[in-house]
Chains A and B, each alone.
Chain A
Amino acid sequence: MSEAQAEKKDLGQAILKEIVPPPEEEAPRKSFWKSISIPALAILTGLLIGAVMIAATSSTVWAAFGQSIWKGFGRAFAEIGAAYQALFTGAIGDPVRIVRALGSGDAREIRSALNPFLESLVQTTPYIFTGLAVAVGFRSGLFNIGVEGQLFIGAAAATYVGYAITGLPGFIHMPLALLAGALGGAFWAFIPGLLKAKTGGHEVINTIMMNWIAFRLTEWLLSGPMTRPGSGGMPLSPLIQKSAEIPQFFQAPIRFHLGFFIALAVAWFINWFLFKTTWGLDLRTVGTNPRAAKYAGLSTTKSIITAMIISGALAGTAGAVQILAVNRSMALGLSSGYGFDSIALALIGNNTPLGIVLASLLFGTLRNGATRMMVVSAIPIDIVDVIQAIILMFVAAPAIIRAMYHLKKPKKEEATIFLSGWGGK
């Protein structure tokens, strides 16, 4: 009998071991430099390969190589330097200009000089929300590819509340519109969540399908019930009420708005929720090993639905903030693919809120700087997509970076990105 009991105890231990997620956050802290070495080198390598492409696709560089090899290299470095200088000043600002503007005291010039950095934060904001949306899914073992669709539905809901309700004071109207966006996204994610939990319908398939329904639904809404009077049926909504606008802090051309701080607050909240609450532990446990979690008495149904609702609410908020703070009306070209970019972003950020905020800053900064780069050097903005893809590739496959820079392999197995649900696990 005692033997049986001992065995039982062992089994309990084994299950506990199974269900407790890999103790990454409890593990002895890796040094700061070690933990950022791979992403930092990945970014550096991405920029270097981007530089090679900038030079290789330039006809003037080829022409210079035709004259002599040194002229060719000189021209190539000149073009790369000019491009990356533009990328930098476009994303962070030109220090000389900032100093000069502050000295001159001209308000408009000061705003223009400071705008690049603040604009990068504007570009960062939607990435934070959608990155968190994907990460909450990943942490719960769900691959939410429907973030883009949830963003559209959230944006549509926020837009409707934003223009159709009148006479509310700002401190009620704006949060209400934001809430409508979150609820819209949550509802759109709830459907595939329910299907997954109750019928086992795979969330990857269902969220993709829900994307298409969302795109066509918003297209219909914007050219039908929600169309702007006088637009002749063009898919464009009316402008939202002033009271629903998320305030921008400065005058044109600076668009920096409160949404950025909301995004940071939400990131902090998600961090607290995932890692400091029982609910968060439940979600992560189900995400790590759903069968063991079920055996331990956790409700996978509840976890899956909760995770999808939170994920969808974050995605919906992304759309709502874009409308209420930046666009001020809704059209179909609402998103440059935040819902899809954020899948990569969540992987780069290792599915932690802090990592996602940092990765979002990287994406937002690159995108903003690319505009200036295109103005100065006529290098298509698409180069940024390429650089982002290369960075992602190296972050996802750190062995390549280690081999390139002869880094030592860490002793402990790195926390792998878990994607149960793939391959019928």
Chain B
Amino acid sequence: MSKRVITLLSLLIVAGMLLAACAKAEAPAAKIKVCQITDTGGIDDKSFNATAWKGIEDAVAQLGIEGKYLESKEVADYEKNLNAFVEEKCDLIVTVGFLIGDATKATAEANPDLKFSIVDYAYDPAIPNVVGQVFNTDEAAYLAGYLAAGVTKTGKVGTFGGLPIPTVTIFMDGFAKGVAKYNEVKGTNVQVLGWDPANPDAGLFSMSFDDQQKGRELAVSLMDEGADIIMPVAGPVGLGAAAAIKERGNAYLIGVDSDWFLTSPEYADITLTSVMKLMDATTMQVIKSVIDGTFKGGVVVGTLANNGVALAPLHNLESLASAELLAEVEQLKADIIAGKLSVK
């Protein structure tokens, strides 16, 4: 009996291999192959890995390219995965995040004939076959700050970050400057709690990107001090802040990176807007440059103008903002795009 079982299984395996060999014969037409390597957050991190992959999926749907990804489980996987895609002769290899920077640089320099792009990172000096994707997030955050200053009832808005690193504080800078702009235009005195561009050492940080409890505590203390609109710039930590705001019931949230109204529907009724960083748009832009042959090492900057950053719609909470305020925000956006207004 046992022998029969084993024989049967072996036969099945052999049959499978034969069929596999046959199936391989029908080779598909050569398509542009775009391959993404995630950092240890994984492809479904609801953050930059997922957003960059969305850019590739969009390109698959619209431009008919082929998309592949490899997830990294640990730092040692970065180089292994890069090598796997070099072997696969991908036309563009997209890596995600600062931590994968060393490995991308090494592999790009070892394979000068292949094209690479890295999200949220730029090399100085630039590498000829790598495009860094960076974001002028402060442009969108500026609009959020102006909007928040116009909506607040208490005259106080708050923000906090995950770690005091440039990709985080750029949100907070833009936000605070947008509030200052509102004060300048309207002669009001709306305060920003948790961040002062002139004194970054006093900024409020959770010192973590995954401790939601910390986000809850920071949101509670900001609300205790009177803030009724809070922008947490700390990835999932912000969800802790959202929970605290929802419990309190008299404050609103500004999401970051993606439109939280859509990605965190449980907090849709407190999400005033979101400062979006659209890596999918910039990734798409790089893919297009590979297709039309204009790919060139350096940086691609996501701005309001090229839709690399944007302010999300207010969705259900549009009644909180007057039509006049929304028009002013639109005007600011137009001015920033036109270069008439600098947010730096």
Interfacial residues, chain A to chain B (CB-CB below 8 A):
44, 48, 51, 74, 77-82, 84-85, 90, 112, 115, 119, 122, 219, 223, 231-234, 236, 239, 252-253, 255, 322, 326-329, 331-337, 368, 371-372, 374-375, 378, 380-381, 404-407
Contact = CB atoms under 8 A, between A and B. Distances in A.
B99 A371 contact: no
Nearest to A223: B163
A405 B17 contact: no
Contacts of A380: 71
Given A77-B15, A372-B84, A375-B68, A234 B98 contact: yes
Q: How large, as a class, is the contact surface on chain B? A: 35 or more
Contacts of A219: 208
A405 B2 contact: yes
B269 interface: no
Given A233-B164, A252-B110, A375-B88, A407 B73 contact: no
Nearest to A112: B87
Contacts of A80: 16, 20
Contacts of A406: 1-2, 5
Query: Does more than half of chain B's interface fall in helix, strand or loop, or is it mixed?
Result: helix
A423 B39 CA distance: 41
B74 A335 contact: yes
Given A80-B16, A331-B99, A371 B68 contact: no
Contacts of B164: 232-233
Contact of B73 (A44, A82, A328, A336): A336
A380 B43 CA distance: 10
Given A231-B98, A252-B110, A334-B75, A119 B17 contact: no
B86 to A, nearest CB: 7
Nearest to B1: A406
Nearest to B162: A233
A115 B70 contact: no
Given A234-B163, A371-B70, A81 B20 contact: yes
A374 B67 CA distance: 12
In order of increasing CB-CB distance, the 8 nearest A-B pairs are: A81-B20, A333-B40, A336-B73, A78-B23, A77-B16, A406-B2, A336-B74, A81-B16
Contacts of A233: 163-165
A331 B102 CA distance: 11
Contact of A333 (B20, B72, B165): B72
Contact of B5 (A252, A375, A405): A405
B21 A336 contact: no
B17 A253 contact: no
Nearest to B73: A336
B39 A81 contact: no
Contacts of B99: 234, 236, 331, 333
B315 interface: no
Contact of A336 (B77, B207, B208): B77
B251 to A, nearest CB: 28
B132 to A, nearest CB: 15
Contacts of B6: 405
B22 interface: yes
B20 A329 contact: no
Nearest to A86: B20
A85 B13 CA distance: 11
Contacts of A337: 73
